[in-house]
A and B are shown apart, each in its own frame.
Chain A
């Protein structure tokens, strides 16, 4: 809701008749009006208060109107200044406009023209206030996205974001696919001074290098076959904001050179164009690949690497921070319950346990999909382990630290049997067990002697 505004006007003119008539006319229209006979009086009054709109005569003894305008602008950059001139002097008017005057008006005034001028000036002022108020409202809209997680690692990431967001530093976010790298980027952007301008995302891995060039730099009409209209590139769109380059490790050698130049100079041309485009953007990038290895083997330029890797944030895979799983699961549960119009849902302790023990190769994205899918299938308001369909991850694909005792025992037994060429007695001696127990374990784990191993 935009608050109504009471406009105040200051009339500065050495002619009393002009001051008095204008003031009376403005007061009839409901404006608050004050007067000054010369620039010095106006500046003295400015020490005490400001006005929204200034009517200033250009020709006054002592400090003239243009100089007064300049001084007012030093005090109040947003002052709306209308110059009064007795001559229809184009040069003076143009100079005033070039120096930032809102408009000019010639004496004697045409009442109709003056009405329109004041109406427009008032509207301009109101728009400026409205803009500020809207920006204040946008402050709440441009708030950082929710960073769900309770692990020490996640809290460290939040602290890193808090530190680096207000700066202009380039940030490289690293982590497996689905860990939340874009979320981190978004959080940095919305906590930065650039939050009122867009964060423009380019998924470098999803586009071929040929298309990526146009995507990043844009192209002019006729730049290539079929290009009937000009297109702005993402670098241009990100002006004033943030450019997020996802999967940066996938871009080809030529693109790396062009990108490095654009990042260093903040200048580029569109494909097929000559005009140099300037764009002021902050860079965030992300990768799930081993960039250091790519640099070593020559697939990624070292200079670009160091240009991008100024500040690193590493996002660990979900399996390495299982304490984040319950809060994430409940967050997604609430999100999808709302969109699916389901009554208050919860997850049983056994269900949570199943989620916490899973490997999550797809990380947070996979967890989100699992919760959504479980909600679709759910037959009651409490999600059970059977509601979660998790892919069977082969035990020996998982690191030993994440296997169950039974899995570890089975694998060890198989290893020893292979070592002893299925000599049960020798296997029993190595494992410090009796033969009967070894046979029982073979039966328990379903381990059969291989056919060719007699």
Chain B
């Protein structure tokens, strides 16, 4: 079974981590090793934008770890050409970063909802994991690989890969995959 390292940093929601890890391990052929890092570990803070550069976070990840790596944080992320991103992964890469920051209802003036937050977080992690496994954006609006530039579109899609995407994902998560 493949191992996915979930490195949490500046992410103070242990219950959410438990919920996300539980869902992914129950539904996908992988095991997740959760490691929490010190709160000052995140690089890439931009003083002008007051956001963290997602590219820099990915670059700083220790690539000696076997398996795929997802950095989970709660800071506001950006990449230079966009005003924000929910997460970032390189296609067929080793590491991705996902932030829960813009997934909280409170930033949209709505009552905080843990279940909704957990669901959005799960979808975003699965989405970036899909990119690490070589999946591109899927035109099926219900597939978790569908491009979702806003939190509302995240809510619209499911935490499920469509059959085509799932086939590719399974190959990637197979234990003898060269990437692991």
Q: Which residues of chain A have a CB within 8 Å of any CB of chain B?
A: 131, 134-135, 137-138, 141-142, 196-198, 200, 211, 214, 218-219, 223-234, 236-237, 241
Contacts and interface: CB of A to CB of B under 8 A. Distances in A.
B141 A198 contact: yes
Given A231-B152, A232-B153, A224 B140 contact: no
Contacts of A142: 140
A321 B134 CA distance: 49
Contact of B139 (A131, A211, A219, A229): A131
A189 to B, nearest CB: 11
Interface string B116-148: 000000000000000000000011111000000
Indicate the member of B106, B140, B152 with the most A CB atoms within 10 Å.
B152
A272 to B, nearest CB: 10
30 contacts: A134-B138, A134-B140, A134-B164, A141-B140, A141-B162, A141-B163, A211-B110, A214-B109, A214-B110, A219-B108, A223-B109, A226-B106, A226-B107, A226-B108, A226-B109, A228-B107, A228-B108, A229-B102, A229-B108, A229-B151, A230-B150, A231-B108, A231-B151, A231-B152, A232-B152, A233-B152, A234-B152, A237-B152, A237-B153, A237-B156
Contacts of B108: 219, 226-229, 231
A236 B138 CA distance: 20
Contact of B109 (A228, A232, A236): A228
B113 to A, nearest CB: 11
Given A141-B162, A227-B108, A227-B109, A134 B152 contact: no
A120 B163 CA distance: 29
B115 to A, nearest CB: 13
B79 to A, nearest CB: 17
Give the contact-size bracket for chain B.
Answer: 10 to 19
Contact of A232 (B102, B139, B150): B150
| Chain A interface main SS type | mixed
Q: Which 4 A-B pairs have the closest CB atoms?
A: A227-B109, A226-B109, A232-B152, A228-B107
Nearest to B102: A229
A270 to B, nearest CB: 11
Contacts of A229: 102, 107-108, 151
A136 B104 CA distance: 36
A335 to B, nearest CB: 16
Nearest to A134: B139
Give the one of B107, B151, B156 with max A CB within 10 A: B156
Contact of A135 (B139, B150, B151): B139
A327 to B, nearest CB: 26
Contacts of A198: 141-142, 156
Given A131-B139, A219-B108, A137 B152 contact: no
Contacts of A196: 139, 141
B139 A138 contact: yes
B106 A197 contact: no
Nearest to B167: A1
B152 A218 contact: yes
Contacts of A228: 107-109
Contacts of B109: 214, 219, 223-228
Interface string B160-180: 001110000000000000000
Contacts of B106: 226
Contacts of A232: 150, 152-153
Contacts of A219: 108-109
Contacts of A225: 109
Nearest to B157: A198
B117 to A, nearest CB: 14
Interface in B27-46: none
A219 B151 CA distance: 13
Nearest to B108: A231
Contacts of B153: 232, 237
Nearest to A201: B156
B82 to A, nearest CB: 14
A200 B142 CA distance: 11
A212 to B, nearest CB: 12
A137 B164 CA distance: 9
